[in-house]
Amino acid sequence: MLLVDALRGVAGLEVLTGEAAELRRHTRFELGGPCLLLADAHSEAAFVEAYRRLQASISPWTTIGRGTNLIVSDRGYEGAILRYSASSIRAEGLRVKVDAGAELNGFIDYANARGLAGLEAMAGVPGWLGAAIYGNAGAYGQSIHQRVQSVRFFDGAELREFDNAECGFRYRHSKFKDNKDWQILSAVFQFDASEAAALVERSRAIRAARDAKFPPSMRCAGSIFKNLLLKDLPADAATRIPAGRIIEGKVPAGWFLEQVGAKGMRVGGIEVADYHANLIYNAGGGTAAQLVELLDELKRRVFTEFGFRLEEEVQFVGF
């Protein structure tokens, strides 16, 4: 049975095919070939039904969010891509329930305007809420896990709920990363009460600083490699790091990349920013193959110089 037929008749599901399903249109890097179809589920029932039907089909399939942290291969993805795009946000006192397809930035603005403090420093982190939980996104000293009370997800068989401890959060990680077939549907957040105007101003200032580093039109995925925990580094490498570059037990990947001459490196249309060694972008006409070649070269240089392998923070599709 054709994939499109497998999904026919699912209420609340929007299916894109052909050019509309070119993945470069759905990723911030603007890289990646076509998939067989891209389906947006606008409700929990639609998502679960589509998931079950795709599970029963013989074609490969996977899920993505807003595509801000993805590298998709130039060949694209030979299967279906499912997105959960329900996006409602409902506050009850200091608690807010959010669907996984809500924009993280819209959620932060919603909380700020109601004097709900706790995620205002993450303003400017792009993408949808589900992926922010999946990757335990964070910025400027705040991270998602500090505010999550519970997460509702579909594990492929049934709908389940985890409390914060069960999510297994750690730096840029959650149990959902270890179980890629588990799909986050919604979450409840707990905030502190604060003054709305101060929260709005803090987010505004942080967005302005971030926009200078990551211009909104830049085709990139933010920082490409994960920062390093000092305790996990080989002793020789650890002793070479200037004290000022160690923040809360973490060392920016950019420091190691700077030491191996990454700034300004280029392969085809893919470049390392000349002001930030852990920021790689598609300057125009780049390909995923060029991006992977550049990442491999950077990892090789850091390994040769420091004896450990950098790990990508971005997720790969179709490789």
Ligand X SMILES: Cc1cc2nc3c(=O)[nH]c(=O)nc-3n(C[C@H](O)[C@H](O)[C@H](O)COP(=O)(O)OP(=O)(O)OC[C@H]3O[C@@H](n4cnc5c(N)ncnc54)[C@H](O)[C@@H]3O)c2cc1C
Active-site residue flag, 313: yes
Q: Rounded to the nearest whole angstrom, what is the least distance from the CB of residue 191 to ligand X in the complex?
A: 19
Nearer to ligand X, 79 or 306 (CB): 79
Q: Of 41 and 237, which has the nearer Cβ to ligand X? A: 41
Query: Which residue is nearest to ligand X, using beta carbons?
Result: 127
**E strands within 17-115?**
35-41, 61-63, 70-72, 77-84, 89-92, 95-99
DSSP result, 134-197: HTT-EETTEEGGGTEEEEEEE-SSSEEEEETGGGT-BTTB-HHHH-TT-EEEEEEEE-EE--HH
Tokens 């920062």 — which residue? Answer: 227
User: Between residues 131 and 265, which has the closer beta carbon with respect to ligand X?
Assistant: 131
Q: What sign has the CA pseudo-torsion 118, 203, 27, 260?
A: negative
* 80 versus 221: smaller Cβ distance to ligand X: 221
* 294 residue type, one letter: L
Q: Could you tell me if 162 and 175 are in contact, meaning their C-beta atoms sit under 8 angstroms apart?
A: yes
Other C-beta atoms closer than 10 Å to the C-beta of 192 total: 10
- Alpha helix locations (H) across 3-113? 3-6, 44-56, 104-113
**Catalytic residue (choose from 174, 210, 223, 271):** 223
- Catalytic position from the list 22, 120, 271, 313: 313
Closest distance of CB 60 from ligand X, Å: 14
Q: Nearest Cα to 105, choosing from 133, 138, 83, 127? A: 127
Positions in the binding site for ligand X (CB under 6 A) = 28, 63-70, 84, 100, 125-128, 130-132, 134-135, 137-139, 176, 183-184, 214, 220-222, 315
**Which of 172, 202, 207, 245 does the annotation list as catalytic?**
172
* Helices 104-113 & 196-213 angle (0-180, nearest 10): 150
Please report how close the Cβ of residue 235 comes to ligand X at its closest, in angstroms: 28
Q: Is 297 a catalytic residue?
A: no
Contact status, residue 7 vs residue 39, Cβ threshold 8 Å: yes
Nearer to ligand X among residue 16 and residue 238 (C-beta): 16
- In the complex, minimum distance from the CB of residue 102 to ligand X, in angstroms, rounded to a whole number: 10
Q: How far is the CB of 298 from ligand X (least distance, A)?
A: 18
Residues designated as active site: 172, 223, 313
